[in-house]
Homo-oligomer: A and B are copies of this chain.
Amino acid sequence: MHIGFLGLGNMGGPMALNLLKAGHALTVFDLSDTAVANLVEAGATAAASPAELAQADVEVIITMLPAATHVKRVYLGDDGLLANVRPGVLLIDSSTIDPHSAREVAKTALAQGNAMLDAPVSGGTGGATAGTLTFMVGGAPSAFEHAQPILAAMGKNIVHCGGTGNGQVAKVANNMLLGISMIGVSEAMALGVSLGMDASVLAGIINTSSGRCWSSDTYNPFPGVLETAPASHGYSGGFGTDLMLKDLGLASEAAKQIGQPVILGALAQQLYQSFSAQGNGGLDFSAIINLYRKDA
């Protein structure tokens, strides 16, 4: 299949490579010449602009961009995708943005005859490279069916979340909960250890009790509890504090727009913000436990 791919950064680059590996023909665009060159070397064709990419003979266009402003510009701009794409081409945006913007763009696309899916991912750069991402997909069932085999070349868990925007809703809701849980685990571990418990023993008990969660059993923030977790490797790699901050910002913004309180979510956002302001934005988000550890 001939696919257009726009946005070849840390996530988009390896995702596009996996599409090539799966045998698809790719026309690509990015502002970075280096990023484009990498893909061309691997067999892709370069487009000189989003407009040229949209006018190429593609069946599907996938975008992977940093924020809603980029998505709006790329899709809705005068020289953007919607102004240049022919009806019938399926549009898939894998950027993580707020549900409201996702719905706004998709509505415009649909009105001119282009089905559109929001399909944000989780799994990080590791999952992008390994092709093991999770895609949370919002949009019409027929479009989802069309997209599924393509997304399957880049991920192993492709979930239909319902109508347009619901992929973004699922991601934002899950990641807000993740941000809260990680601080909850951090407080519980720090409290238990300060009160005299061994960290691994405490984690073991939590992991078989009602406090059990992914932040405790798979990604424990206390160093040494899990060999594979960033906590055991100086909080390098993983999911950066500033990325978590971005997702919590999307969650609280989406909540504000509909007048929905998210009390712990908003406080968690502030705590990661404090931690980032102290110069820790590049550390894995589980390093937030250092706000609580006197011995750290």
Contacts and interface: CB of A to CB of B under 8 A. Distances in A.
Give the secondary structure class of A's interface: helix
Contacts of A32: none
Interface stretch (A66-74, A210-218, A227-235): A210-218
A243 interface: no
Copy total for this chain: 4
A174 B188 contact: yes
A223 B218 CA distance: 28
A236 interface: no
Nearest to A257: B195
Given A169-B192, A213-B213, A256 B249 contact: yes
Interface in A249-270: 249, 251-252, 254-256, 258-270
Interface string A190-217: 1110111110011011101111111110
Contact of A210 (B209, B210, B214, B265): B214
A169 B195 contact: yes
A209 B271 contact: no
A38 to B, nearest CB: 29
Contacts of A195: 99, 165-166, 169, 172-173, 254, 258, 260
Contacts of A172: 191-192, 195
Interface residues of A, number: 79
A194 to B, nearest CB: 5
A99 B202 CA distance: 15
A181 B254 contact: no
Interface string A161-182: 1110110011011111110110
Contacts of A255: 191, 194, 273
B263 A213 contact: no
A247 to B, nearest CB: 11
A191 B6 CA distance: 30
B270 A211 contact: no
B251 A197 contact: no
Task: Give the interface centre of A194, A209, A212 by most chain B CB atoms within 10 Å.
Answer: A209
Contacts of A174: 188, 205-206, 209-211
B271 A259 contact: no
Contact of A206 (B173, B189, B263, B292): B173
